[in-house]
Structure 1
Amino acid sequence: MLEKTTRMNYLFDFYQALLTPKQRSYMEMYYLEDYSLGEISEIFDVSRQAVYDNIKRTEQMLETYEQKLGLYSKFQQRCKLLMQLEEKLADAQEDVQQLVKKIKDLD
């Protein structure tokens, strides 16, 4: 469940501009603010089922946008590459420090 929530939060971040104001409100309240379906239905004066259906449709729309545009997938790939780059730079820094120590030891 946590994985799905995290994914939906990212998809929402990337694609929220493509949603209607009502869809944005429901998704924000449900995923970001942790409101229950019942609480959202009371606030908007609609049935709990209407909120559930709207959220499920919106989730499907977000997944469709991701399939077509791939913004989240590309973001994940960039994050992975940045982590690898940071590791390589840390290793290189270690190597440089060792070389500097050897040079100083020559004196």
Structure 2
Amino acid sequence: MERIVKQNLLYDFYGELLTEHQKEIYGEHILNDMTPSEIAADHGITRQAAYDMIRRCNKILEGYEDRLQLVHKFLKTKEKVKEIHTLSQRILHEDKEQMKNDIRQIECVSNGILEDL
């Protein structure tokens, strides 16, 4: 997964667990694509302090993901839902026997989602 997408997902899932100051600095970097220099100028801190805060927040959020696996579960469920969508679209254009097979497959995939939750 692309680093920026991963950072955004981690922030979306775990950002509220950061302190207000951490959310502000890290959010500007992730959501507004600001550099440590730009963040430093806006907050009256050094570029190094902004850079260190960004790295620290990355580690904190990755630690949450290592323990809780919410992003991993979300992405896994998203793939299963895509598979269900593809199968349901295919059903609309198939004969009855193939339709039964696809419905059974949809049932298996949806059961897998329910088990994961």
Query: Is 1:90 equivalent to 2:86 in the alignment?
Result: no
Name the counterpart of 2:46: 47
**How far is 1:3 from its partner?**
1.0
**How far is 1:43 from its partner?**
1.1
SS in 2 for 1:34: coil
**How far is 1:28 from its partner?**
1.2
Instruction: Structure 2: give runs of 5+ residues left out of the alignment.
Output: 97-117
TM-score by length of 1: 0.85
Name the counterpart of 2:66: 67
Identity of paired residues, percent?
A: 30
Instruction: Structure 1: give runs of 5+ residues left out of the alignment.
Output: 98-107
1:1-54: CA deviations, max 9, x gaps?
x81111000000000110001111111111110111111001111110001011
Does 1 or 2 have the higher relative contact order (CA < 8 Å, sep 6+)?
1
CA distance in 1, matches of 2:88, 2:30: 36
1:45 maps to a residue whose letter is: G
Moved over 4 A (4+): none
**How far is 1:96 from its partner?**
5.7
CA distance in 2, matches of 1:39, 1:91: 50
TM-score by length of 2: 0.78
SS in 2 for 1:95: coil
CA distance in 2, matches of 1:89, 1:56: 43
SS in 2 for 1:35: coil
Name the counterpart of 1:105: none
**How far is 1:58 from its partner?**
0.5
2:28 maps to a residue whose letter is: M
CA distance in 2, matches of 1:91, 1:69: 35
Name the counterpart of 1:7: 6
1:5 maps to a residue whose letter is: I
